[in-house]
Amino acid sequence: MRRFFTALPFLSAALFAAVPDDHAARMAESRELFTAQVRGILMENCMKCHGGEKTKSGFDLTSREGLLKGGDQDVGAVPGKSAESLLYQAVAHLDQDLAMPPKKPKLPAESIAAIAKWIDLGAAYDKPLLEKSDGERAPLVVSSEDRNYWAYAPLREVAPPAAGDQSLTAIDRFIAAGYHQAGLTPAGPVGKRKLIRRAFFDLVGLPPTPGEIEQFVTSSDPQAYPKLLDDLLSRVPATASAGGVTGWTWPASRRATASNTTTTASSPFTTATS
């Protein structure tokens, strides 16, 4: 996991390095070429089968997203690489099985050249070739009932419900009121042995040693649990993310379950069911 995070800066640098300095200018030129020539070529020769009411082979040329996604054969275009793009190969009749338009002569050389140059520049669209009708995608309408949904309600301060146990936190008092309203009885406090195991698995992803368990269970210090949490948090590297901590648990749990199908004391799954 640490190696992955260490490699992230180099991966990001590689991704940004792959974008040429003139990318924006090339996309702008590609968009202009699409407006001037390519749009008309595609509308006249391709949209009957690959847009509108029909999308043969799952290939929809209506939008740039559909072009890049491609269909049953392959991606429709590889921006910057027309020779590797299915659309260019089809209109240029480089593969007779994929020659387009079907059962018609090959497009004029200038049209094929325009498509190739357009793809090499980035295959940009100025707008979709066809606008979807209202029947296909209705506009989003937010009703008054929708606005009453709790997630969209304005924030307001709410006093915690009164509770018999005044030592409860504000959040616990809301939970206690919910239990009472539903006629439920909350579970009692968890035992020290389960508590320490849960703390270890939650914070470091590993079980406590028998010695650590006994020291915590036999301690009469009222601050034993907060001190335990501080100690466990100090063991977690400052640079570790939540995903990194969770990742530590996975190899341990795999070893425990792979070596013994019976749940063991070292398996993190014992705390999940306790």
pLDDT (tens digit per residue) in 107-132: 999 999 999 999 999 999 988 888 76
- Segment (H or E) for 55: strand 54-55
Is residue 253 scored above 60 in pLDDT?
A: no
Question: In percent, how much of the chain has pLDDT > 70?
Answer: 72
Residue 271 has a pLDDT of: 38
pLDDT of residue 258: 46
12-16, 203-207, 216-220, range with the lowest pLDDT: 12-16
Beta bridge partners of 51: 54
209, pLDDT greater than 60: yes
3-state secondary structure of 201: helix
207: pLDDT strictly greater than 90: yes
Residue recorded with tokens 């009453």: 148
Phi, psi (deg, nearest 5) at residue 218: -90, -5
Average pLDDT over all residues of the chain:
77
State residue 141's pLDDT score: 67
Domain ranges of the chain: 20-121, 160-186, 192-273
Question: Which pLDDT score is estimated for 272?
Answer: 40
pLDDT value at residue 48 = 80
Q: Which of residues 140 and 97 earns the better pLDDT score?
A: 97
50: enclosing H helix or E strand: strand 50-51
Ramachandran assignment for 57, one of left (phi > 0), alpha (psi -120 to 50 degrees), beta (any other) = left
Q: Out of 70-84, 112-126, 154-168, 254-268, which region has the weakest mean confidence (pLDDT)?
A: 254-268
pLDDT reading at 68 higher than 50: yes
134, pLDDT greater than 50: no
Task: Say which DSSP state 81 is in.
Answer: -
Residue range 209-236: mean pLDDT, rounded = 94
